[in-house]
Structure 1
Amino acid sequence: MAHPQIVTRQEPKQAVARASAMLEGLFDLRAVTVKAEPGETIAAEGEEVETIYRVISGTVRCCGYTGGGQRQIFRFCGPGSFLGAVDQDRWRATVEATDCVILSAVPRCRLDEAIARSPRLCRALFALMTDELRHREAHLVTLSHLPAHERLRVFLTRFVAERRAPGFVALPMTRQDIADHLGLTIETVSRSFGTLKRHGVIEMRGAGKVRIADQTSRVPA
């Protein structure tokens, strides 16, 4: 059985690029630099959005927790990502540092003032919100229809493509992070890495660096 075709996330690039450029204008010399250590909470779900952030370096995870403490990671955001810009009054997810993270921060009121002056900025934020919804829909399809090793294949392919780096790419997240993102156990994630390596889909350098070797390789169900 052939594996599903993997399509890396193709945003309406021009709209997203314009939106990012407009938001970057808010992060001028008056922005504050914030550092977060691995596992540190940057913003908690349900808290009032008082600050918006732009990721300068490192990776953050956007996640939710059940009443029993179970975690679901919705998305990993790397350099250039904006946090809090498309949330309304309160954070829709908890934002945590996956590794050592540096962010640029400005008060949310500056964004609100800019929106009042610029209808174009409203359209730009809508483009970013649409992109985020598109990402979540694609992730739901992955969780609903693919076996474990294909979920991991899709995740790694998208992550490597977003990093736009040749050769081996460092994975800043733990195996548990990946498990909580893909709806799997950590044991299943480890087995799936082994499956993809055996079939030549990926190459690993240690436990923390990966290269997509063959996107077309078939893995038996």
Structure 2
Amino acid sequence: MERLFQNCTEDVKYYMTLTEIEADQTFIKAGTDCTHIFIVLSGKVTGVEWPVDARAYPFKDFGPGDFFGEIECFAGLEHYRISIVSSTRCQVLSIPVSCYMDWMRMDVEALFLRTQENISSLIAQTAEARKYLFLEGKDRLMTHLIRKFEQRQPLPAALELKKTRSQLADEIGFSIKTLNRSVGKLAELGLIQLRRGKIVISREGYQQMKLYVEQQVNGRNFTGYHSTEQEE
């Protein structure tokens, strides 16, 4: 960040604003005018897709150093593509789009840094999306539960998910039948517990799921949890 901002324009310095945002606040709404570039300085936020069926799909967590609104500006788009919701209390820096783009046009090194970062991020996101599509049901559920657990900072001893099965199915993109089957498998393996129908994740269960998912993504074997059956 120091390297990026070392030659920023006076307009950027004057008009940029530091804002404290409480948890569970939507500070970027998909489809609205792209007026500011937002940079997360602390805390965590979640990207949310709003497809044509109008159901929200949280798809990725972001943190310090992540930019929002920038790709839209570089692509000449007038509206934000996704919604951004604060998962925790955050500090966010906002810069008016006009000031930011004038700066990028004048500062070759800053433009190069941001272009390099955006291309790297897009390549990584594309690779993650391909891997996610090939995960079986219980593995996709594990990935989602890990993300939910890590949204709590510091990490809790245990986390009980308050959402209904229907809400979880919508978030992951499952049918209720597939979700229930996947929940049952994780419960049988001792990775989660069920309390009055709600999913409870212990710290130990989180750590086991985290290890499994990391090794699955890296293509290594993990004794005890591997399954080759196909999900709906």
Taking structure 1 as the reference length, the TM-score comes to: 0.64
Q: Counterpart in 1 of 2:96? A: 107
The whole-number CA distance in structure 1 between the counterparts of 2:97 and 2:137 is: 39
Residue 41 of structure 1 and its aligned partner are, at CA, apart by: 2.0
Residue 82 of structure 1 and its aligned partner are, at CA, apart by: 1.6
Q: Counterpart in 2 of 1:40? A: 25
Q: Counterpart in 2 of 1:182? A: 172
Matched, 1:219 2:226: yes
Change (3 A) 1:33 1:166: closer
Change (3 A) 1:128 1:56: same
What are the equivalent positions in structure 2 for 1:62-73 lying under 5 Å apart?
A: 62-73=47-58
2:85 is aligned, of 96, 107, 124, to: 96
The aligned amino acid for 2:173 is: G
Taking structure 2 as the reference length, the TM-score comes to: 0.62
Q: Answer yes or no: is the 8 Å Cα contact 2:5–2:110 preserved in 1.
A: no
The aligned amino acid for 1:115 is: M
In proportion to residue count, which structure has more helix?
A: 2
1:50-109 per-residue CA deviation (whole Å, 9 max, x = no partner) reads 211221333222222234321223322122222222222431212222343331222223
Which structure is larger by alpha-carbon Rg, 1 or 2?
Answer: 2
Structure 1 vs Structure 2 CA RMSD? 4.2
What are the equivalent positions in structure 2 for 1:72-221 lying under 5 Å apart?
A: 72-88=57-73, 89-154=78-143, 179-180=169-170, 182-184=172-174, 192=182, 195-196=185-186, 198-199=188-189, 207=201, 211-213=206-208, 214-215=211-212, 216=222, 217-220=224-227, 221=229
The whole-number CA distance in structure 2 between the counterparts of 1:114 and 1:207 is: 46
Q: Answer yes or no: is the 8 Å Cα contact 1:55–1:80 preserved in 2.
A: yes
Between 1 and 2, higher relative CO (CA 8 Å, sep ≥ 6) is seen in 1
Give identity over the alignment, percent: 19
The whole-number CA distance in structure 2 between the counterparts of 1:82 and 1:208 is: 32
Residue 156 of structure 1 and its aligned partner are, at CA, apart by: 6.3
Change (3 A) 1:47 1:36: same
Change (3 A) 1:111 1:178: farther
* Aligned positions, number: 198
Identify unmatched segments of 5+ residues in structure 1: 1-19
Identify unmatched segments of 5+ residues in structure 2: 194-199, 213-221
